[in-house]
């Protein structure tokens, strides 16, 4: 399974590991992902998503159904 948020699309980015002697070697920074089950009362079903913790904060603020509707609207506008 890839390390990508299913809602925001956040994925790994590359950068450098810098030692005390300032030697630089390539490394990856992975997003902070959690597997979480959400209940959508409007559709009366449970869904399991792998989401970033920043997306979890937004879901806690707005609600899962409102957040999914917002993402769907943004997706349609981008087409």
Q: Decide: 74 and 8 in contact? Cβ < 8 Å.
A: no
Residue 79: band (very low, low, confident or very high) from pLDDT cuts 50, 70, 90: confident
**Complete domains list, the chain, with CATH:** 13-78 (2.30.170.40)
Give CA–CA dist 64/43, Å, rounded: 12
Is pLDDT of 1 > 70? no
Element (H, E) at 41: none
Residue 78: band (very low, low, confident or very high) from pLDDT cuts 50, 70, 90: confident
pLDDT in tens, 10-68: 999 999 999 999 999 999 999 999 999 999 998 999 999 999 999 999 999 999 999 99
Give CA–CA dist 52/67, Å, rounded: 14
Q: Considering only CA atoms, which of 78, 39, 36 is closest in space to residue 57?
A: 36
């Amino acid at each position: 399974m890839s390390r990508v948020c299913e809602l925001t699309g956040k994925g790994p980015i590359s950068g450098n590991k810098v030692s005390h002697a300032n030697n630089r070697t390539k490394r990856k920074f992975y997003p902070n992902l959690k597997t979480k089950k959400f209940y959508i009362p409007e559709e009366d079903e449970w869904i399991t998503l792998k989401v970033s913790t920043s997306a979890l904060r937004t879901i806690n603020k707005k609600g899962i159904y409102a957040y999914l509707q917002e993402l769907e609207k943004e997706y349609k506008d981008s087409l």
